[in-house]
Amino acid sequence: MVEDSLSPASITDKLETRFIGQQVIYYSRLTSTMEVAKQETQQGAADGTVVIASEQTAGRGRLKRVWLSPKGSLALSIILYPSVVYLPSLIMVASLAVVHSIEAVTGLKPRLKWPNDVLVNGRKVSGILIENSVRGNIVNYAIIGIGVNVNLRLPDFPEIPPAATSLSDELGRGVSRLALIRRLLIEVEKLYLTLPTGGESIYQEWRDNLVTLGRRVQIKSGKTDYEGIAESVASDGGLLLRHPDGSLTKIVAGDVTLRD
Ligand code: BT5
């Protein structure tokens, strides 16, 4: 039986972070941790406050898509007040923190799919969503949302797309969500605090973990479909796509299908 109590006290107890996860707001069930985190910013939530739920009824992905997070999964949002220059790096910080913590707790070796998927053995085990409110150069807040399929038997959830997996399905055993959350919070903080001096190495590690690069891809970005070779990523996170005619486009947001 996997230890799986997620009380705020069990998460914060001797947690070796300076500020991320020192305040935890826990719900066994809520609509979306993004929604609640956003409300908390309006009540003056402290930097690094975390909203965690065991189950979401209206979890969301990008572009108002649905993120399913039934019991056994992990859903959390981290409230931050970064300088505007660090906003493009938050997806890199969050993605690498998920990779590091899954690897540390399970031994699995996740990879990343641009822009925001974490894959294990080619299937999506985690999705990341960054939402922020910025006016001019002032960041009102940024929220990192992370969903991980931890202890789910995917065949029990036909509504989750077949390109998904869970840590327990990959391992054939359950995983402590508590251990994973605590490690995740430590990893997010470590990377986030490195940004002022180590932003370049975070970008490089993120780029090196992308399964997308060097592959023939189809990208849907807004109403436009692109096809070409995903050549590289820029340090602001944009994907550099080489077209068959040799030209290059930088794509800031989109959905990638690997074609080879
Ligand atoms: C994402 O969006 O992958 C970001 C997901 C972020 C979820 C977290 S949970 C905590 C916080 N609170 C929230 O309400 N959200 C954040 P996107 O790239 O748009 O992918 C969404 C797509 O992933 C859906 O359209 C489905 O195809 C697929 N999907 C939905 N649920 C899934 C699951 N549990 N596992 C794998 N794939 C899933």
> What is the DSSP pairing of strand 50-53 with strand 255-258?
unpaired
Euclidean distance between CA atoms 53 and 59, whole angstroms: 10
Ligand 1 within 6 A of CB of 209: no
Residue owning the nearest CA to atom 15 of ligand 1: 60
Q: At residue 237, what is the residue type? A: G
Ligand 1 within 6 A of CB of 50: no
- Contact status, residue 169 vs residue 5, Cβ threshold 8 Å: no
Q: For residue 153, what are the contacts with CB-CB under 8 A and spacing of at least 6? A: 166, 168, 169
Please state at what angle helix 177-208 crosses helix 90-106, rounded to 10 degrees: 130
Instruction: Name the token pair of 186.
Output: 């430590």
Q: How far is the CA of 222 from the centre of ligand 1 (A)?
A: 18
Please check the confidence at residue 214 and state whether its pLDDT lies above 50. yes
Note the pLDDT tens digit of each residue in 107-156. Answer: 999 999 999 999 999 999 999 999 999 999 999 999 999 999 999 999 99
Ligand 1 within 6 A of CB of 68: yes
Q: At residue 236, what is the residue type? A: D
Q: How many residues does the chain have?
A: 260
Q: How far is the CA of 95 from the centre of ligand 1 (A)?
A: 14
Ligand 1 within 6 A of CB of 110: no
Residue 211 φ/ψ region, left for φ over 0, alpha for ψ in the -120 to 50 degree band, beta for the rest: alpha
CA atoms in the 13 A half-sphere facing the CB of 68: 15
Note the pLDDT tens digit of each residue in 18-57. Answer: 999 999 999 999 999 999 999 999 999 999 999 999 999 9
Note the pLDDT tens digit of each residue in 64-83. Answer: 899 999 999 999 999 999 99
Q: How far is the CA of 213 from the centre of ligand 1 (A)?
A: 22
Helix, strand, coil shares, percent, the chain, to 5: 30, 30, 40
Q: Cis peptide leading into 70, omega within 30 of 0?
A: no
Q: For residue 83, what are the contacts with CB-CB under 8 A and spacing of at least 6? A: 139
